[in-house]
Every structure is written in structure tokens, then in C-alpha cells.
Amino acid sequence: MKALVTGANGFIGSHLVDRLVRGKNSVRCLVRPEADLSFLKETELFSSDFAPGNFNYQYGSLSDKSSLEDAVQGVDVVFHVAGAVHGTHGKLFRTNVDGTINVYRAAKEAGVNRFVFVSSLEAMGPSYGRILTEDARMNPITNYGKSKREAEAFIRAENTIPSTIIRPPVVYGPKDREVYKIFKMVKAGFGPKIDEGKQRVSIIHARDLVYGIMLSCLSETAQNQTYFISNDSSFLWPEIYAAMGTFMDKRVKTLPVPSKAFYAVSAAIEGMLWLFGKSSTANRDKATAGKHSWECSPEKAKKELGFSARYDLEGGIANTVRWYKENKWL
């Protein structure tokens, strides 16, 4: 397989590139010229020793159409992983919607055979006490979720390349910098409890997510389908804190945080950083999402793809803590 991976140097993208290269596939990594490539160095070394010629960089961006036209030449499959997680409404829609349109159209013109788009559970909206399935009504409440929903809608409406949409929930694992912030809080001995702390979330280890992505790419059944890739069970955040604490030898205290106060502080931080042209993971989107439950079912992926998560909560947390410690993050 000859694959293009957008966002290849990021958390999920680098895990996907590693699996592709180790599977003896030829991988082209779309990265910005100024990108930090540290997450790809181990894979690059492996390729040079055991799979020479199966790994290369393609410099460009989602907004540079000519670079995308070059990137998709001779490619069988496009894995579109790149995207913005936080930022202004304009940035999120330019990156997640316009960027997806640009990549898709370039792939279409080049005659690419498959298009795999990594979306998000946030495109669906909160679960509100239900376990969401792929055919539930989409009702995103965050700008990030709305941008992902619009990108999904474009792919479905276009329907010219056999495509698969993957909606992961909370993703964690080695190299992650988002859930990592919670690991750091737990190491300090506390974890936030929004309102009464009854929010339940589905989760997935990055390597399990990549396993699901690969299964979808190789399955004819998955063409023009959408899948949640998650663990079987959902968890309360205090349960996740406790698992993290176990592998860091920490007893964790939950810190009650009213959702209104959480939103106000997040909005203030977002506003201050906006003045300096920066974005923050502490923002109104995250505060809005944080007071809700986000639960989804992997049953469709299990039935149609043969997917089964290999990391349970404890095993995944242990693996992640070990990587953080080995790399001096914790």
C-alpha cells in the first residue's frame, strides 16, 4: 500500500505512520516545513534499517493546494488525520473544513482509491445518558465538533472516493499532550470533578485507535461507512484518575469545580491568550464539553471490522505512564 498521512508528525498521525511502516507499507508524511518531527524519528530510523524507501516527508499544508496535489500523486490511500483541536471559530473551520475539502479534492483528481477521515465523537455531541451509535442524530455543541460535522457532511455529499469516517472519543497514550495534562494533575495528587462528577466518557488508547483505522482501510465493508473506535466500557473521570494514580503511586483527591466557574476561568484564559495571538486548551469549547458525558458504542466496528480494543483501562494507563516516565515527561 502507498499511503499519504496528513498530520503525520502529530500524536495520532505518528502512531499511524509507525504501524504502516512496520507493516511494510510505503508512507508519505505530509508535514509543515516548520513542524516538529521528533515523534517520527524512531519510525524514520526503523525504515532506514529495515524498510528503506518506505518513508518520506512531503512538505506542505492543508491550505496549500499545490503542495497537496504533489502529495497525493501515486498514492493508493489518504489517511486524513491533520486538524485543529482548539483555536478561534475561524481557525477551526479553515483547518478542519476547508482543509479537508482541499485534501479530498486533491485526492479525487489524483485518482486515489480510498480516503479515511479521522473525525471525532464531538461531531455527534454529548451522549446525554445514552450510548451513542453511528446513526444517532448529530448535535455538536462545540465549535470543534461543529467543524468536524461539516467536514463529514462534505465527504458524504461528495461521495466520489470510497471513504471511511472514524470517530474516536477521548484518545490517550504515548506522545499525547492533551490527556497528559490530566496525568500531570494526578501526579500532583488531584483531579477536577465538574459539578457532581457524574460525567462518563468513552476512551481509546492511540494504538487501538490506529488498529481500528487500519482495519477500516482494509475492509470493503467499511467503504462509505462511519465507525466509533472505542473501548467497550465508559468511565467516570474519578475512575480514570484512580487508575492513573495507581501507576504513579499517588492517592488522588477530587477537587470540586462548579461548571460555571470552570467556564468563566476558561473563557478568561482564552481571552487573554487571544490578545497575544495564541490559543489554549483551556477554552470555552473544552469547558462546555467538560460538563457533559461522551459515551459511544464500538459494536458496529466490532461486528463489521472485527475490531476489539487490546488495551483495557489499566493496561493502557500503565503503558502511557511508562512512556511518560521513560521520556522524562513525568
Digit-coded pLDDT (tens) for 170-227: 999 999 999 999 999 999 999 988 888 889 999 999 999 999 999 999 999 999 999 9
Q: Which residues pair with 227 in a beta bridge?
A: 166
User: What pLDDT does 155 receive?
Assistant: 98
**pLDDT reading at 259 higher than 90:** no
Q: Which domains does the chain have, with CATH numbers?
A: 2-172+203-231+294-311 (3.40.50.720)
Q: What is the pLDDT of residues 51-64, one digit of tens each?
A: 788 899 999 999 99
Q: How far apart are CA 124 and CA 33, in angstroms?
A: 33
Contacts of 134 (CB under 8 A, 6+ apart): 167, 225, 226, 227, 228, 300
pTM: 0.94
